[in-house]
């Protein structure tokens, strides 16, 4: 058992050395982001305490602390990144428009898109929540970054990742060279390498979908889920159902155990509920880099050419054989 302690910092630097072209700027983005994540971790883990303290005004505090946490996480990431000189522009789920870099700060060559707090409706139940991020190179030539820099197809991402604030807090990211997981050691405030080169099993035994939406699904999705519940399911026994309702937690489990996560389009959400730029693309890059598949029902999520910053996408992602089976049911035209 190697007792080598490899911090995120060391892993990034060693990664840089193995990529001669790396200029170190990109490593700065990850480094600065990890500071913001630690600050969010501190507040997210304290949220329960606040609720207890706030029981007197539970309804008010309870509701506001959620909103506060979404906004707190959003502001924390922006403030940790806006002055670093690495970014040309940012985009976040919490703001309709792109976030320009303030005039007083230098402009960089990267674009950061993020979902600052994912699954926040679960906070008061102490269910895992997360942060999701995605990094692109700017395509505009000079000056502040623009909308066109923030709506690039997912295959243009140079890095993506997520944090799951759970029983332990893990940062999982890829720069296109495999998927690596770091666990936060609160006693030293460092993310330590704990899951190098995560690979998703080619097939799992778990499906993850909100079955409360059954009546809104297409026939294809209904038939696929029924198929998984039958004796002759691909592994000759029905799959288990697991649905946490925090995308990051559901994807993290799917990445480690295999299986499939679905948030299909339905009669309420014709384009699906999840966001392409902040949820679909970053997690699709992670799942594909771990050897899995991520589609919108008919094509790779990473191939979708965005037209709007907040556009939504159906999501089917996980083990490559499970996603292939699913597509046979849900993709009529494939």
For β-strands 110-118 and 87-92, DSSP reports them as: parallel
Measured from the CB atom, the residue of 128 and 174 that comes closer to ligand AHG is 128
216-245: which residues touch ligand AHG (CB under 6 A)? 245
- Least CB distance to ligand AHG at residue 171 (A): 17
Residue with tokens 């480094």: 31
Beta bridge partners of 260: 207, 318
Instruction: Check residue 304 for interaction with ligand AHG (CB under 6 A).
Output: no
Instruction: Judge whether 210 and 223 are in contact, CB under 8 Å.
Output: no
112-141: which residues touch Mn ion (CB under 5 A)? 115, 117-118
- Least CB distance to Mn ion at residue 114 (A): 9
Measured from the CB atom, the residue of 12 and 47 that comes closer to Mn ion is 47
The Cα–Cα gap between 179 and 71 comes to 28
The Cα–Cα gap between 139 and 150 comes to 9
Q: Report the run of H or E that residue 119 belongs to, with start and end.
A: none
Instruction: Check residue 74 for interaction with ligand AHG (CB under 6 A).
Output: no
201, interface contact from ligand AHG, Mn ion, none, CB < 5-8 Å by kind: none
Beta bridge partners of 136: 111
* Interaction pattern, residues 182-221, with ligand AHG; x per rule: CB under 6 A: ----------------------------x-----------
User: Which range binds ligand AHG by CB under 6 A, 17-25, 98-106, 111-119, 216-224?
Assistant: 111-119
Among 247, 255, 277, 309, indicate the residue that binds ligand AHG (CB under 6 A). 247
245, interface contact from Mn ion, ligand AHG, none, CB < 5-8 Å by kind: ligand AHG
210, interface contact from ligand AHG, Mn ion, none, CB < 5-8 Å by kind: ligand AHG
The Cα–Cα gap between 155 and 176 comes to 10
Among 92, 120, 152, 175, indicate the residue that binds ligand AHG (CB under 6 A). 120
Name which of 261, 281, 306, 311 is nearest 112 in CA terms.
281
Q: Which two tokens stand for residue 123?
A: 């906070």
Instruction: Check residue 288 for interaction with ligand AHG (CB under 6 A).
Output: no
The Cα–Cα gap between 292 and 83 comes to 36
Instruction: Check residue 115 for interaction with ligand AHG (CB under 6 A).
Output: yes
What is the three-class DSSP state of 163?
A: strand
Q: Which two tokens stand for residue 91?
A: 């985009």
- Least CB distance to Mn ion at residue 277 (A): 11
64-123: which residues touch Mn ion (CB under 5 A)? 93, 115, 117-118
Instruction: Check residue 250 for interaction with Mn ion (CB under 5 A).
Output: no
- Least CB distance to Mn ion at residue 115 (A): 4
CA distance readout (Å), 111 to 159, 220, 255, 289: 10, 37, 26, 20
**What are the residues whose beta carbons fall under 8 Å from the beta carbon of 96, sequence distance 6 or more?**
309, 310
CA terminus-to-terminus distance, the chain? 47
Residues forming contacts to ligand AHG in the complex (CB under 6 A) are: 93, 115, 118-120, 210, 245-247, 273
* Interacting residue ranges for Mn ion, rule: CB under 5 A: 93, 115, 117-118
């Amino acid at each position: 058992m190697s007792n080598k302690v490899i911090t995120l910092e060391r892993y990034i630097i060693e990664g840089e050395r193995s990529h001669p072209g790396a200029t170190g700027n990109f490593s700065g983005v990850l480094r600065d982001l990890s500071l913001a994540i630690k600050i969010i971790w501190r507040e997210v883990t304290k949220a329960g305490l606040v609720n207890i303290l706030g029981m007197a005004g539970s309804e008010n505090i309870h509701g506001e602390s959620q909103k506060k946490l979404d906004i707190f996480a959003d502001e924390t990431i922006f403030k940790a990144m806006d002055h670093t000189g690495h970014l040309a522009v940012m985009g976040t789920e919490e703001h309709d428009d792109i976030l320009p870099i303030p005039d007083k700060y230098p402009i960089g060559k990267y674009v950061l898109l993020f979902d600052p707090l994912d699954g926040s409706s679960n906070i008061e139940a102490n269910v895992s929540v997360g942060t999701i991020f995605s990094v692109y190179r700017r395509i505009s030539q000079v000056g502040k970054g623009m909308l066109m820099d923030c709506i690039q197809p997912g295959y243009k991402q140079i890095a993506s990742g997520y944090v799951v604030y759970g029983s332990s807090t893990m940062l999982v990211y890829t720069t296109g060279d495999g998927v690596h997981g770091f666990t936060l050691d609160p006693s030293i405030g460092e993310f330590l390498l704990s899951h190098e080169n995560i690979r998703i099993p080619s097939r799992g035994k778990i499906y993850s979908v909100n079955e409360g939406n059954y009546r809104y699904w297409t026939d294809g999705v209904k038939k696929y889920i029924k198929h998984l519940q039958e004796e002759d399911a691909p592994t000759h026994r029905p799959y288990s159902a697991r649905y946490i309702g925090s995308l990051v937690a559901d994807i993290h489990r799917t990445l480690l155990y295999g299986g499939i996560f679905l948030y299909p389009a339905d009669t309420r959400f014709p384009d699906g509920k999840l966001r392409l730029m902040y949820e679909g693309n970053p997690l699709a890059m992670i799942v594909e880099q771990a050897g899995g598949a991520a589609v919108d029902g008919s094509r790779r999520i990473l191939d979708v050419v965005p037209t709007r910053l907040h556009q939504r996408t159906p999501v089917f992602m996980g083990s490559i054989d499970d996603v292939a089976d699913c597509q046979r049911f849900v993709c009529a035209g494939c």
